[in-house]
Amino acid sequence: MTIIEREQDVTVAALAAMERTSDPRLREIMVALVRHLHGFIRDVRLTEAELRDAAAILVELGKLSSDTHNEVVLMAGSLGVSSLVCLLNNGDQGNTDTDQSLLGPFWRLNSPRVANGGCIVRSATPGPALFVTARVVDKAGRPIAGAEVDVWHASPVGLYENQDSEQADMDLRGKFETDAEGRFSFRSVMMVGYPIPAEGVVGRLLIAQNRHPYRPAHLHALIFKPGYKVLISQVYDPADPNIDSDAQFGVTRTLLGNFVRHREPHPTARDVDAPWYSLDHVYRMEAGEAVLPRPPIK
């Protein structure tokens, strides 16, 4: 070990300790972490009071987290970290476009099965009708048949069913299976953007930075088919006023959806009033291992 003479020696000693990590990947991570952390502290000349504040913030992030809320994940999103990790690990390791996006906190396992063309509105949910037609394909554009597709989205007032006592259980959620051409389709109501929970540490950060807490309107999907990496995607409405200022940095050009607002009567559904919306979308899956994420809520 080293007896420290000057401030630079601390970094040398800490890096040497990190180098003794047995597991090679953990060693790589810890060496880089200490190198960047020490560099960051030198860059901003972190004060003793600020280090105490930082520790208090980390403790508070943990205390605010529970089975139904994860302030740490919210902070990772609010710093752009979650989006960066997603983009680096998909699309040929960040070299090409990817349909992968963030899972978010509201995916639930075991959404009710719905036949193609069916409706996922399970209780009176006032708002303009939305008709979604979609295809699931591989990187070469070939259809993927028999894929399981979970969809979920917020209501026309910006609440997921689990946040809203007005909505039935599993409202605006459904599980579809793609047909021989890789297609699935359903009817719902048009979602709107919504604010992320801003009562905690993340909320204070947003205020300090003059940032609004909104995510633009989006449709979530999780697509499962053995032989393919599970596709976790979000498709965004380009007409949303916050499309270029997502509080979670999730919007990429690839994920801008072909949402269309229609003023004319719907061609087949007689009960639909104008305006109504349509979305036609193609989801592209990459080959890989099909591993489901852990559901963030029950």
Binding residues for Fe ion, rule: CB under 5 A, are: 104
CB of 5: closest distance to Fe ion in angstroms?
Answer: 53
Find tokens 């950060």 and name the residue: 205
Nearer to Fe ion, 104 or 182 (CB): 104
Peptide bond preceding 275 in cis form (omega within 30 of 0): yes
Task: Give CA–CA dist 43/38, Å, rounded.
Answer: 9
Helix, coil or strand: residue 247 = coil
DSSP 93-109: HHTS--------S---S
Nearer to Fe ion, 211 or 262 (CB): 211
Nearer to Fe ion, 11 or 162 (CB): 162
CB of 89: closest distance to Fe ion in angstroms?
Answer: 20
Give start and end residues of each alpha helix (H) in the chain.
Answer: 7-19, 24-44, 48-63, 71-78, 81-89, 91-94, 201-208
CB of 250: closest distance to Fe ion in angstroms?
Answer: 9
Q: How many CB atoms lie within 10 A of CB 218?
A: 28
Find the residue with minimal CB distance to Fe ion: 104
CB 11 within 8 A of CB 38: yes
CB of 155: closest distance to Fe ion in angstroms?
Answer: 11
Nearer to Fe ion, 173 or 229 (CB): 173
CB of 247: closest distance to Fe ion in angstroms?
Answer: 11
Nearer to Fe ion, 21 or 162 (CB): 162
